[in-house]
Structure 1
């Protein structure tokens, strides 16, 4: 009897939190692809292959925004709603949405579910995770609702009331979740994305605020809300806010300087348009994927600079991607410490643990290796400049969604590569590796220390 119980326990599959996340995202993408491939999801004039539907579903679920089909013209209202719902679930995390329904029906959250939530939210421990999820849902609702009201009211000046409300809700969700989808291509006289609003202060400011709050992470948002009462930030929030601010300002200055004389981007604009154009590209390049100027018209040096911003990405536990601003801060801190001959990496008078420094190096090297490998493969399968291919690969892996014009012309193999890049980039290669590794063995010995020459 005891042997039978042991055998049953061994045969019972208990997925780990990374496995739950991985299988959950795969299931969500497949369900989305099935819905988007149905005739109800596209307009009468078009039909969609399953691969294109899978691509769009993966892009929405991974909150990337790269598209092989035009969201505003190829998809019906039903298809557009499916896309934005996938972006909402993918941005907040499917476990967060599942917790919402559990809380609504007063269902108890098990310890295993708390572990999955901790993994999905990049939270430090399981203690207080359900309370944190409640805050996440509340903050997301308030921010998205505020954005929807502001945008809807503004769009009423140029479109019917019903359409303006729909546009306001759709784009508020898309911008906050850093998804990068838009519907403005429904207007034949307008260019895609937010190019029509390049000199519009209201749309620019509201959009950048939504992108900013979505990109800093819910832990930081929570501390911003409680700051007037507590008057303090954690080290995490200090690093995220300071690095985000520096990168945004520095990025805007560099883009402004590089594109000021470009007749296809900033040169024809007014003074306020030049400022807004440079600032918006700096904000959106690290997470959102929207644009107020055509990325394919940017100078090559600017495109390469945007690749660097995309690679750095947004904050941990946010709707953005990249190696994360905290990883970037630790790497810069490590470089400075080494140059000064210091043993410790110190940020805001706090010493960073050696393990976190090793993790930062690991995340960066894995991301760099994956992007390089994907770029090499795409260079074989696709026709386009090397920079455009690198731009697209970085945008996909870092779940940014900016495109230099290559995505809409991808071959079938190229689409599969980009889908895999978006999926791995959203989950994280380390999470995926843990999901595939069913056994973890602790080594009982250490090799003798050796020395090699460096530099």
Structure 2
């Protein structure tokens, strides 16, 4: 079989860049539409416009399923505004192409090849049966959200009338599955998030299950349902499942050890309640954004662990953000092999390509550099210390949504920077750099002579 001609390669590269731009620009369009709706007086509880900055910040946070807010969701937004936020969470979580494909399926229209390419790119799939894959994605996502909403509604029904219990069940189920972290519990205590239910096993475990399922990724779902025996799983699925389990268990143990005697977080709880709260904290750092304890009152070591776990995030092709679990594993494998003097990276008797390793390093370096640069900007323009500033920037770029109390104190410059970070974190740093910043390959047609440098 003959290899593709240079013209074919260039055409495919231009097509890939175009698809990346479509994804990035469509997310931007959804954010702007949401900001316009939230800026309307009808969206605010007091009947007065929230202003363009608050509207844009909230729309970006909802569409990028982050959860950082300038004002308590229940206290600031009317029922109409909360519906707008919920719709943006759903679109941002399942992917804008999921919503578009749902409309196409409803109208029974044929999906073009170009539309299939965009759908495949947006959910991390390939072109093989992408339409059927998208249908399964939507059905399973709505089913999981429906089950979660039913459980949460039944629990809230023990305290509130049915209309309010149903609203709380649906809103928090969608927010949890999409890893958004928005809550409407401000009528109990504004800004408290899930702290008011930090010892409730039904609510905490239901939300945790939704967050974990949403963070696994739809491709992993397909394989788990198709291949029940772990030996038949692909290398990617094995890495996702192992890494997810290790991070959840390891994070729970670490937070138990670091916060067990902290009276401001776990110290006043009973033993089982401490374990539940530590597990919830370990889970929510995987880009969920529900606060089970006051993040600003964590010990310095607890904040450091939280920043590290927020940076990792969930898995590719999921509702979660962050560096991604497999990307993190690839980095660890690269470091381990380089320290042993090996040039190749392998796992489960399979070699990881150099391109994958370079992509992992690129994403990691971009996230770390942006996080530290952003924290410096916040320190310089807002009355916030560096640790809390770094917590804020990592939370934004990892689309986590947790804050150590810095969000309400951000300057106008810092607010717009956090908006950009949330957008970058959701759309994907590599997608943006590939779609907008990638130069023509003319520089790769020749190579300069090698030089020797002292490294280390």
Between stretches 100-109 and 438-447, larger displacement belongs to 438-447
Aligned to 1:3: none
Deviations 1:103-142 (A, max 9, x none): 121111111112212221122x222221211111011111
In the alignment, the residues of structure 1 paired with residue 22 and residue 31 of structure 2 have an alpha-carbon distance, to the nearest angstrom, of 14
Deviations 1:225-245 (A, max 9, x none): 223389721111111110111
Deviations 1:250-289 (A, max 9, x none): 1111111000110111010011110001111011112101
Between stretches 277-286 and 342-351, larger displacement belongs to 342-351
Aligned positions of 1:147-226 closer than 5 A: 147-188=148-189, 192-226=192-226
Give the direction of change, closer, same or farther, for the CA distance of 1:307–1:224 in structure 2 (3 Å limit).
Answer: same
In the alignment, the residues of structure 1 paired with residue 16 and residue 364 of structure 2 have an alpha-carbon distance, to the nearest angstrom, of 31
Aligned to 2:6: none
Between stretches 169-178 and 90-99, larger displacement belongs to 90-99
Aligned to 2:385: 385
Instruction: Indicate conservation of the 8 Å contact 1:46/1:74, yes or no.
Output: no
Instruction: Indicate conservation of the 8 Å contact 1:199/1:270, yes or no.
Output: no
In the alignment, the residues of structure 1 paired with residue 371 and residue 144 of structure 2 have an alpha-carbon distance, to the nearest angstrom, of 33
Aligned to 2:250: 250
Where 1:175 maps in the other structure, the secondary structure is helix
Give the direction of change, closer, same or farther, for the CA distance of 1:45–1:269 in structure 2 (3 Å limit).
Answer: farther
Instruction: Indicate conservation of the 8 Å contact 1:177/1:319, yes or no.
Output: yes
Report the CA distance between 1:436 and its aligned residue.
Answer: 2.1
Instruction: Indicate conservation of the 8 Å contact 1:60/1:90, yes or no.
Output: yes
Instruction: Indicate conservation of the 8 Å contact 1:214/1:318, yes or no.
Output: yes
Report the CA distance between 1:305 and its aligned residue.
Answer: 1.0
Deviations 1:388-425 (A, max 9, x none): 00000100011000010111222211111110110111
Report the CA distance between 1:339 and its aligned residue.
Answer: 2.3
What is the TM-score when the length of structure 2 is the normalising length? 0.93
In the alignment, the residues of structure 2 paired with residue 439 and residue 112 of structure 1 have an alpha-carbon distance, to the nearest angstrom, of 23
Where 1:351 maps in the other structure, the secondary structure is strand
The answer for unaligned runs of 5 or more in structure 2 is 1-14
Aligned to 2:43: 41
Instruction: Indicate conservation of the 8 Å contact 2:208/2:280, yes or no.
Output: yes
Between stretches 71-80 and 441-450, larger displacement belongs to 441-450
Pair 1:98 & 2:96 matched: no
In the alignment, the residues of structure 1 paired with residue 207 and residue 16 of structure 2 have an alpha-carbon distance, to the nearest angstrom, of 42
Instruction: Indicate conservation of the 8 Å contact 1:64/1:178, yes or no.
Output: yes
Where 1:184 maps in the other structure, the secondary structure is coil
Aligned to 1:281: 281
Aligned to 1:368: 368
Pair 1:143 & 2:144 matched: yes
Aligned to 1:23: 25
Report the CA distance between 1:451 and its aligned residue.
Answer: 3.1
Aligned to 1:233: 233
In the alignment, the residues of structure 1 paired with residue 438 and residue 204 of structure 2 have an alpha-carbon distance, to the nearest angstrom, of 47
Alignment match of 1:63 (pick from 52, 62, 65):
65
RMSD over aligned Cα atoms: 1.8
What is the TM-score when the length of structure 1 is the normalising length? 0.93
Between stretches 425-434 and 399-408, larger displacement belongs to 425-434
Aligned to 1:409: 409
Aligned to 1:265: 265
Give the direction of change, closer, same or farther, for the CA distance of 1:320–1:146 in structure 2 (3 Å limit).
Answer: same
Moved over 4 A (4+): none
Report the CA distance between 1:438 and its aligned residue.
Answer: 7.8
Give the direction of change, closer, same or farther, for the CA distance of 1:14–1:392 in structure 2 (3 Å limit).
Answer: closer
